[in-house]
Structure formats: structure tokens, C-alpha cells
Copies of this chain bind each other. A is one copy, B any other.
Amino acid sequence: MATGRTHRPATRSRGIPEATVARLPLYLRALTALSERSVPTVSSEELATAAGVNSAKLRKDFSYLGSYGTRGVGYDVEYLVYQISRELGLTQDWPVVIVGIGNLGAALANYGGFASRGFRVAALIDADPAMAGKPVAGMPVQHSDELERIISDNGVSIGVIATPAGAAQQVCERLVAAGVTSILNFAPTVLSVPDGVDVRKVDLSIELQILAFHEQRKAGEEAAAEAALAAAAEREGIAEAAADGTAAHRKGPDGDVPAVMPA
């Protein structure tokens, strides 16, 4: 999921595996919810279910951060919130710019999840002069001519690209040249960036396509199951049929059409 050829070889950043880093925000969210309910401690089991992972995995993840639990009791919620926040770098303020204020960019600007965790939208930038000055999420949109100045004035190191695909690479280059070293890309393009710049990609249509694949497979399996049933029904009297799963494949009255999908 990460990016198009970014992320150093096999990033084990400082002993913390990439897969673990990707789960820390999940734990943090679950912990924050517990904290708001004033729950003092949680067991790995409870927290794991709340975060939607397996408890062994959670414990191993935490073991990379240090030993913050108490055996026989569990983890101190507040303390863990602090440790994870610090590890993720959320105890400091991250100014962020959003480039491309179309439907998606506006949605992002309004998204509460950003501001809630150390992220501050420093500016909204769009190439359309007609957008300039328009307020979006209580903040005036600025023209992309200002991009370099905004980034340097605010010390922005994280940029969000929500432009059309055609503009993304160019915007990316300007961001990087101006000093941005982390990019969250919503445009459906592979960005190429110099070493040292991180890119993460969020692609809506890709996610849907993956779902479609599984959906299709489910439909196919159903059909296969039905076919297997039919074949089984038809087979009575033929005792020496192969007992293993291959029976489902070489099924049917004639031919060897695989039940799953036409080749």
C-alpha cells in the first residue's frame, strides 16, 4: 500500500517494523476512546479486540516500543496514549498544506480527524484563480503561485495532493523543491520523488477494484459449490470417484471446464 518506489529498502526504522508503525494509529484511536471513558487500564486482549487485531500481535507491537505493561494487570491507558503519541511524533505540531481544493480537497479540509491529532491545516491551495479567496472550512483558498512562500513561511513538511492526476507530478515536484519531505497522494498517479521523500498513496478506485475481485470470487465459489453439488448428485452409483477436492474441478457431464471461471 505504501507508495510508488519510496520507503527505504525494508524500513525497520529504529527497530520498529513498518507493519507495527501502521498499526500504532489504530491502537491510539482505541486508547483515546478508552481514555475518554476514563478507563484506567486495559488488557492486551481487550485493546486488541477494540483495535480489530490479534492480542499476540498487539503485545509484540508494544514490545518494540518498550515494556509499558504490568503483568497481571495490563496497560495504563493514559501512559500508553502518551508513549504512542510520542513515538508517532504527534506531540508536536505538524503544519500541512492541501493542494487541489475540489470536492475531495474540500472534504479533507473539513475532515476533523486531521486537526484532532497534531495536524494543523496551514493552507489550502488551488491553481484555479477563481477559487482564490473563497473560504473553505473557514479558511481562504490561496492561489498556487503562493505555494513556495506558504511552505517556507510555515515550515511545512507534509503535503497533501488532491489534484487531478494530470497535475499531481508537477505539484509534487514543486512541493519537494520547496522543502516538503512527506506526501499523501490522493491523485491516481505514480509519483516519482527523490530519495528521502516519503509518499503514501490513497486510491479510492483501487480499493473498489480489490473488493470487486473478491466479490466476483464469492460469486464464482457459490457457482462452484452448486456445480459440485450437482455433480455429486449425478455421481451416485459411481463409487470409485476420487475422494479429494479435485473432483470439483473435473466435474460436469463432459469436457473439463473449470467451475470457477472460463479460461
Contacts and interface: CB of A to CB of B under 8 A. Distances in A.
Interface in A55-92: 66, 86-90, 92
A95 to B, nearest CB: 11
Contacts of A190: 26, 30, 50-52
Interface residues of A, number: 76
Copies of the chain in the assembly: 2
A210 B53 CA distance: 18
A89 B11 CA distance: 34
A38 B245 CA distance: 42
Given A119-B208, A209-B117, A104 B94 contact: no
Nearest to A157: B215
Given A184-B207, A218-B196, A212 B114 contact: no
A42 interface: no
A255 interface: no
Nearest to A206: B25
Report which residue of A14, A118, A220, A263 has the largest number of chain B beta carbons within 10 angstroms of its beta carbon: A14
Of all A-B residue pairs in the complex, the 8 with the closest CB atoms, nearest first, are A4-B52, A89-B216, A113-B205, A52-B190, A103-B107, A182-B211, A25-B209, A25-B206
